[in-house]
Chains A and B, each alone.
Chain A
Amino acid sequence: MNEIPLIFFLWVGAFLFATGLSIILIKRNVIFVLMGVELMLNAANLNLIAFSRGDDQNQGLMMGLFVLVIGVCEMSIALAIILQVYRRFKKIDIDQFQSRN
């Protein structure tokens, strides 16, 4: 018995998820919010990998690899959109977008 207990990985994952959520809520910069989203994505991924440790079919590991690819696609598209928003409005604060009610 020389393995780390599963619950330790889950605690770290929970901490990263909560931190990412707080970053999304606090920060007013879109790039910062995107970093928080990445943190939450990786917290979920850590859980998948930790559960996949005791599975001889590696289902969590495969799912984690797919999540990685989807996360990168999301990141590249989001940064392209942020760039376009900056070109149009010269600012990337979240508070600048207000609905016209």
Chain B
Amino acid sequence: MIMNSPLMIGFLALTVLTCGSAFLMLWTKNVLHAALAMFMTMLGLAGFYVLAFADVMAVSHLMIYVGGVLILILFGIMMTGQRTSKTGQTNELFTEQKGRFWAFFIGLTVFFGLSWLLGQQDFYAFSDMDQQSKLGRVGLSFMLEYSFPFELTGVFLLIALVGATYIAKNHE
């Protein structure tokens, strides 16, 4: 039975980790706590990629999100003055919330709507799932059929980095 396999148990544990931290991100008012919760969410997502037999994606996701984006967000929190809470404790960064009911309602609607919509479909796989590493084939694909988007992505990355540096410069 599929429900008792170790793969499934791992999947359930990752689901608890990912969805729990995502919900914590929604719940907390502290930006730093949200950044920590986002870190846990990204860890869980990397685990999901491993379970979907996409090891390349898992490793690059870990490197980019946990190593890069999270540091960027922490720098952003640090360099923009955050409001502290009303109790005056300096460690508590406080974010205002508005329209709680509607946001919750819309979120629930989107979740159940998407679940219903996806449950209606009858997906099937093109081929058998091979459980080998996909690193070699991804590298070949980058050089063969995806070579133009690959080069374009490189140029795009360079432009984005130069642009971000220019925008963030002190223009005074």
Contacts and interface: CB of A to CB of B under 8 A. Distances in A.
Given A18-B108, A23-B26, A35-B25, 11 more contacts: A2-B7, A12-B18, A16-B19, A22-B104, A38-B65, A42-B65, A49-B49, A51-B123, A53-B53, A79-B164, A87-B170
Contact of B75 (A11, A25, A66, A79): A79
Contacts of A83: 76, 79-80, 167-168
Nearest to A51: B123
Interface in B59-96: 60-61, 64-65, 68-69, 72-73, 75-77, 79-82, 95-96
A15 to B, nearest CB: 5
Interface of A: 1-12, 14-23, 25-29, 31-32, 34-36, 38-39, 42, 46, 49-56, 58, 61-62, 64-66, 68-73, 75-77, 79-84, 86-87, 90, 92-93, 95
A18 B110 contact: yes
Given A22-B103, A31-B80, A62-B141, A75 B72 contact: yes
A31 B76 contact: yes
Given A27-B97, A69-B157, A53 B129 contact: yes
B19 A58 contact: no
- For chain B, the bracket of interface size reads 35 or more
A3 B7 contact: yes
A14 B51 CA distance: 18
Nearest to A87: B170
A84 B22 CA distance: 28
